[in-house]
Amino acid sequence: MTTPPPHRTRNAARGKAGIKNSRLEVRLTRELKALVERASGITGAKTSEFVVASVREAALRAIRDEMVMTLSAADSRVFAEALLSPPEPSARLRELMRGPASGS
């Protein structure tokens, strides 16, 4: 029995989700390219691997920053108090709650 070429083995082991089939092209200044190449050399990664890892990290950080709200200690106490002891509903809110449930 013959063994498949190495590239097929790697792709098969990663599964369809792991196959890299999308490209992203960017233009860099010479200075930025040199900086990226220097940093990738320091880490021992190939430049493209370094760029992919850095872009992924930056994307996850941006998404996390959008999703996570950080409160000061004082704001955290105010928020917790509002959750633990909410105010009584106003007359207008009670009126709206008694209204039709169909939303029309």
| pLDDT tens digits along 68-103 | 989 999 999 999 999 999 999 999 999 999 988 655
Which of 53, 23, 19, 22 has its CA nearest to residue 36? 53
* Alpha-carbon gap, residue 61 to 77, rounded angstroms: 26
pLDDT category at 17 given cuts 50, 70, 90 is low
pLDDT in tens, 31-53: 999 999 999 999 999 999 999 99
Q: How far is CA 77 from the centre of its chain?
A: 28
